Amino acid sequence: MTAYPKTDPETESTPTEKKQRDVPIFSLKSPSYIHDFAVTKSHAVFPDPQIVIEPLQILRGKPVLRINGDKVPKLGVIQRDADDEREMYWIDEPGLNMLHVVNAWDEDHGDTIVVVASNIQPVEHVLEKLDLVHLSLEKIVIDAKTKKRSPLSASESRLRSHQSSLCTKEKQSN
């Protein structure tokens, strides 16, 4: 399910202890490296980062993980009691390559989802040049009614813009 089990602080149980219905997710366009995800009382939030998995590459003796720089990262949000994938929605998140979730919770009776997670920038180096990678924590606030992320603060917006320009310059120099 995840590299990092989740525990509900109130019940001290994990989502896997109380078995819920499996909800297959077919809306991902390609297999992604989903290392961790967020769970709140009412929602689950899954990253769809630029780190992709190509299992057949192993037959060619090549790494199965690669970076797809053309892909726009997304966050998939679904209610924990969803019957099927039709209730899932995806939010484009350019510049957000979420790897680890620090915490997540609901506010406003589940109308607001808050996720604190790591963001890897520039993602192009995460598989080979870790010394060039910057890891930051981001507070992601999602309005579950409008199905959109709350606007970035001015400082977050400047940071994302700066990180994106660094990635563009790096691509051009290669």
Residue 46 CB-density burial (10 A; 0-12 exposed, 13-18 middle, 19+ buried)? buried
Query: In whole angstroms, how far apart are CA 155 and each of 72, 93, 107?
Result: 21, 16, 23
- E-strand stretches of the chain: 38-39, 43-48, 51-53, 65-67, 74-79, 89-92, 98-107, 112-121, 134-143, 148-149
pLDDT of residue 92: 95
Three-class SS state of 92: strand
Burial of 140-149, coded b for 16+ CB within 10 Å and e otherwise, reads bebebeeeeb
pLDDT of residue 20: 65
Does pTM top 0.75 for this prediction? yes
Per-residue pLDDT of the chain in tens (174 residues, 90 and over written 9):
455 666 666 666 665 555 567 888 888 888 888 889 999 999 999 999 999 999 998 999 998 999 898 999 999 999 988 988 998 999 999 999 998 999 999 999 999 999 999 998 888 877 888 787 788 899 999 999 999 998 766 556 666 565 555 555 555 555
